[in-house]
Structure 1
Amino acid sequence: MLSFDPARLSERDNYKFLIGSIIPRPIAFVTTRSKDGVLNGAPFSYFNIVSSNPPMISLSIQRSGGNQKDTARNILESREFVVHIVDEHNVDKINQTAASLAPDESEVQLANLTPADSVKVAVPGVKEAKVRMECVLEHTLELGGEETPGCDFIIGKVVQYHIEKGIYENGRIDAEGLAAVSRLAGNHYAKIGEVFEIQRPK
């Protein structure tokens, strides 16, 4: 077995090791609104559940050259955002939103996604997602380098769920109906694939 000291690896090599090992990763499509009213949208695969009581999720938004991305800056300014689950039917449009645009340009508009009014936050979601969660900022941390942070770690509290009626029954979400996709490494993604069951020990 090979063994590496991450302190001796470049940032790029650490990145490749992590994204190639920690798979599959769920993908959040996040909408935010700038202080100038531009509806921003971007996908993030450093995303997961933090807590169910209260319901909270996390996003780790990597900086570029020490500069915050539009999503992180908008969340810190407005303290609101909407998280969507990326699925087989919307992944092509969501992929378009990964393009680097100026802060005054809308990725939602670029990808021809349809804004959907939220109930408890001012930021719209998009109709193309089967599941979306309205969130308010709970905590934020600057992580990384001592002088220049490498990422903004954001914890949001979910204040409203939206889910397509056909995939929700008796409090459960139909995984096949949701058809979520996950991130691997490079340009590779994965579908749900074979599902198996293992009983947890008592």
Structure 2
Amino acid sequence: MIAIDPLTNTERDNYKLLVGTIIPRPIAFVTTVSEEGVLNGAPFSYFNIVSSNPPMISLSIQHSAGKPKDTARNILDTKEFVVHIVDRQNVEQVNMTAAPLAPDQSEISLAGLTPVDSSVIAVPGVREAKVRMECRLEQAVEFPGFELIIGKVVQFHIDEAIYDQGRIDPVQLAAVSRLAGNNYAAIGEIFTIERPV
């Protein structure tokens, strides 16, 4: 084993160790609306479940060039956002939204995604996702260099093709996950291990 002290590493070295070992990471495609009314969209792989009762998710949004990204700023301003699960069919379009655009430009338009109204919140989602979660900001913790966002899911939208009696079919969902660099992973072998009683 190689022992590495993160204090002796650069931020980039620690980043490479984290994203290379904590894999696969689910990808949240997040839509927000700016105070000026611009529909923003961006992918984040620092994303996970926080709680099921109430249903809550987390996003860690790193700063860009020393400033909060449009997504974090919009969430802090409006207290609303939509999280979409990235799948094999929409990953190319979602990847396009990672382009560094000015705040007054919409990544949704750039990627050719189709806005769709939400049911409970004002922020639209996109039609191309099989799963959309309308969220309200539950808590934001601001750290030097990033914001940790906790959102409460106030409405689920699930494609009928992946939904069966309250469960999601992982093969039909075809979610993709983030690895390191430019690499992604699709659902591969699925195996079952019974929990001990």
Task: Give the aligned partner of residue 98 of structure 2.
Answer: 98
**CA distance in structure 2 between the aligned counterparts of 1:110 and 1:13, rounded to whole angstroms:** 32
Q: CA deviation at 1:166?
A: 1.2
1:90-169 to 2 correspondences below 5 Å? 90-143=90-143, 149-169=144-164
Summarize deviations over 1:103-149 as a string: whole Å, max 9, x none.
Answer: 00000000000000000100000000000000000000112xxxxx1
Task: Give the aligned partner of residue 169 of structure 2.
Answer: 174
TM-score (norm 2): 0.99
**CA distance in structure 2 between the aligned counterparts of 1:55 and 1:166, rounded to whole angstroms:** 22
Give the counterpart letter for 1:24 in structure 2: P
Q: Helix, strand or coil: the match of 1:64?
A: coil
Give the counterpart letter for 1:25 in structure 2: R
Task: Give the aligned partner of residue 58 of structure 1.
Answer: 58
Give the counterpart letter for 2:110 in structure 1: L
Q: Helix, strand or coil: the match of 2:145?
A: strand
Task: Give the aligned partner of residue 184 of structure 2.
Answer: 189
Figure out how many residues of one structure are paired with residues of the other and give that number.
197
Give the counterpart letter for 2:164 in structure 1: E
Q: Helix, strand or coil: the match of 1:77?
A: helix
Task: For structure 1, list consecutive stretches of 5 or more residues without a partner in the other structure.
Answer: 144-148
Q: CA deviation at 1:64?
A: 1.9
Identical-pair percentage: 70
TM-score (norm 1): 0.97
Q: Which runs of 4+ in 1 moved over 3 A?
A: none
Q: CA deviation at 1:198?
A: 0.2
Task: For structure 2, list consecutive stretches of 5 or more residues without a partner in the other structure.
Answer: none
Task: Give the aligned partner of residue 193 of structure 2.
Answer: 198
**CA distance in structure 1 between the aligned counterparts of 2:58 and 2:122, rounded to whole angstroms:** 20
Q: CA deviation at 1:95?
A: 0.3
RMSD (Å), alpha carbons: 0.5
**CA distance in structure 2 between the aligned counterparts of 1:69 and 1:178, rounded to whole angstroms:** 29
Give the counterpart letter for 2:36 in structure 1: D
Task: Give the aligned partner of residue 43 of structure 1.
Answer: 43
**CA distance in structure 2 between the aligned counterparts of 1:176 and 1:38, rounded to whole angstroms:** 34
Q: Helix, strand or coil: the match of 1:136?
A: strand
Give the counterpart letter for 2:9 in structure 1: L
